[in-house]
Structure 1
């Protein structure tokens, strides 16, 4: 019996271990699962100022991407209060508008009002954010863009789910809540 325990323990260690993705630019390790979404891949962009993309997803689809980059800037104040962050968020929303003109999406609807600032309780950064809808292929998606700044880097979240998917909406909200704790190195 004892001769089977070591191989079993080794199997569980290898297959049950929680992998993480460490991002040295902001000193954060992202877990393999967040709010029911599973780590999918990490992409490093060829231009250093474009940084990296860390992607999570589940079938249904719910897709969440985390972008960490400095956009070529050397000084980016932490949080969401600086004019630099507000200006960059406006650029992000302009890029969303351009998805329709470039043919990447149809019927982009930003609704009314501008970006908002979150008011989450507890540990972790706040975000500027905005919701919008767009048609991609045959699906209409509800998407959200979030932005904050940490350690001279922008941290942008983009989350999408099928329009009307209440579980997808809950997972998107939970994803933001959990990622802000990861970003804040919270000890909860």
Structure 2
């Protein structure tokens, strides 16, 4: 009887757990949970150069999306030091600025100071990043875009939380730190 109860308990635990997801283009396994965010879904885009999106979400309104793609380029240097990564980051930020013109948001307000290169301690890649606000009409989101090169791919993080969420920025920072460790195959 105990053996059956134990087997049933293991079955329930296995079916309720969210599995980690492997992304072969960069040879990385993403865990079911990073900081306060839990894996939500993986979407493969129809065009190979657009790659995949791996989405995480918190129980609150924090959302993190990881885009892994090559944009049709054959060689993408690792890290943030190359002109290729800098040029692509400028294109990514220009696309964010165009969201209001395309009618997807009411307004985009870029943070003062421009783009920054992270100087995070420990294992894992550094990122180029930029903060901005997205006015959705009924709410305002604090958003962040991060970019690095890894294994001939761009790895882009898009993070958002409600501007009024005082915990949101800390959740974003913890998620970025966690994803750095995942991308770098770091051992705590």
Q: Which TM class, normalised by the smaller chain length?
A: over 0.9
Select between 88-97 and 107-116 the one with higher mean Cα deviation: 107-116
Whole-angstrom CA distance in 2 between matches of 1:134 and 1:15: 35
Q: Secondary structure at the match of 1:172?
A: helix
Unaligned runs of 5+ in 1: none
Q: Secondary structure at the match of 1:88?
A: helix
Match of 1:148 in 2: 148
Shift of 1:106: 1.5
| Matches for 1:57-136 after TM superposition, within 5 Å | 57-136=57-136
Whole-angstrom CA distance in 2 between matches of 1:135 and 1:149: 29
Whole-angstrom CA distance in 1 between matches of 2:177 and 2:103: 32
Select between 109-118 and 89-98 the one with higher mean Cα deviation: 109-118
CA contact (8 A) 1:119 1:126 kept: yes
Match of 2:19 in 1: 19
Whole-angstrom CA distance in 2 between matches of 1:7 and 1:122: 41
In the alignment, structure 1 residue 9 sits paired with structure 2 residue 22:
no
Deviations 1:53-97 (A, max 9, x none): 011112431111000000000000000000000000000100010
- CA-atom RMSD, angstroms? 1.3
Q: Which runs of 4+ in 1 moved over 4 A?
A: none
- What is the total number of aligned residue pairs between the two structures? 187
Match of 2:164 in 1: 164
CA contact (8 A) 1:144 1:158 kept: yes
| Matches for 1:48-59 after TM superposition, within 5 Å | 48-59=48-59
Shift of 1:137: 4.1
Q: Secondary structure at the match of 2:129?
A: strand
Whole-angstrom CA distance in 2 between matches of 1:65 and 1:131: 15
CA contact (8 A) 2:34 2:175 kept: yes
Match of 1:32 in 2: 32
